[in-house]
Amino acid sequence: MYRCGVTTGSRVGEVFEIRYDTKRMHQGGVEVDVEGEGLELSDDGEGTVRVKVTAPGVNATVVISPR
C-alpha cells in the first residue's frame, strides 16, 4: 500500500500524476481512494493515477493499494 499526503494549493483544477509499476509489482492493477476531500482520482489502468485538485487549501491522503 502507498499513502501520499497532499495539501492542496489555491488553484482548483491543478493536476499531478502518480506512476506505478504494472509489470513487476501491480500486474493485477491497483485500487485508488482518497481519505479526506479536495481531490479527484482517476486510474488509467496503465500505470498512471491522475490527481485533480477540486478544493483549495485542504489536507487529504491518496491511497493506492494492489488489487
Q: Model confidence over 20-65: pLDDT tens digits?
A: 988 887 888 899 999 999 999 999 999 999 999 999 999 999 999 9
Rounded CA separation 32/62 (Å): 7
pLDDT, residue 26, reads 80
pLDDT at 38: 96
Q: How far is CA 56 from CA 32, 34, 44, 60, in A?
A: 21, 15, 25, 11
Per-residue pLDDT at 13 exceeds 90: yes
Q: Which three cell numbers stand for residue 61?
A: 491522503
* Greater model confidence, 11 or 28: 11
Q: Residue 36: its pLDDT value, please? A: 96
